[in-house]
Structure 1
C-alpha cells in the first residue's frame, strides 16, 4: 500500500509538472525549496522564538560506544514548533518532496525504490549506515 501512495505521488507530480519541466528548472527549484526549509527553521528561532537552537560542539567521552553516543547527542533544539511555524515547515517540506519526485521522474528513477533501498541500508547497517 505504501508503495502505491509513493508511486501515485510521483505520478501526480509528473502529470502536474508543466512550468518547471526542464531538468535545470527542477534542480534549481529543489535547491530553492531546501533554502526555504532552512529559512523557515531559522525564522522559527529568530522571529517567532518557538524554538531555540543551542548549537555547539557536542562532547563525547573518548571511550563512548555508539549506543551511548546516540543517547548523549542531541538535535540541539529546545522548545516546540508553534502551529504556524509547523504549518510553514510542512508546506516547505511538501514542496521539497514535490521537486524531489519531479527529479526522480525526470531521471526515470522510482522514488519508492530509492526509499526502500535506503531503508534496507539503515536497517541492515543500523548506526553504522551514516558513519
Structure 2
C-alpha cells in the first residue's frame, strides 16, 4: 500500500465507514441478525483477550481490588489499574483488531437499521466526556 492510500485510510470518517457498511451488507440485514452478530463479536473479542493470556501468554491479568480511598476523583483516576501486564504480541493484536473491526461493522449496521448516525453518537459522547470530564464516572 502506498503512503497516500495509508494516509487516506487513517483519516477514514465514521460516516464513510457507515456508508460502506450499508453498501456491502447483504446477508445479515435483519435487525435480529445484526444484534446477534454484535453479541457474537463481543464474545469473540473477549475470547481473543482470554486466549492472549491463557494460550499465547503475551499478556497477563493480575486483578486486585481497586483503591477508591483517595482524596479526589483525580487521585482515584490516577491510581486505578487496568490489571494488564505485558503487551499484545503482533499475532494476538492482529486477531483483536480483526474482531473489533467486525464488531464496528455490525455496530454500523445497527445504526443503519435504526437510522442513527454513528458520527453523531460518537460526537455526543465526546461532548459529554469533554463537558463532564472525570465527573462522568465511567
TM-score strictly above 0.5: yes
What is the aligned residue count? 129
Q: Over the residues paired in the alignment, what is the CA RMSD in angstroms?
A: 1.6
Contact 1:3/1:112 (CA < 8 Å) preserved in 2?
no
Q: What are the superposed Cα offsets for residues 25-80 of structure 1, whole Å, 9 maximum, x if unpaired?
A: 0000000000000000000001000000111211232x431111111111010000
Provide the rounded CA distance (Å) in 1 between the counterparts of 2:132 and 2:78: 18
Q: TM-score, normalised by structure 2?
A: 0.89
Q: How does 1:45-60 map to 2 (within 5 A)?
A: 45-60=53-68
How big is the shift at 1:4?
7.0
Provide the rounded CA distance (Å) in 1 between the counterparts of 2:99 and 2:84: 19
Q: TM-score, normalised by structure 1?
A: 0.93
**Structure 1 unaligned residues grouped into runs of 5+:** none
How big is the shift at 1:129?
1.3
Q: Secondary structure at the match of 1:14?
A: helix
Contact 1:55/1:76 (CA < 8 Å) preserved in 2?
yes
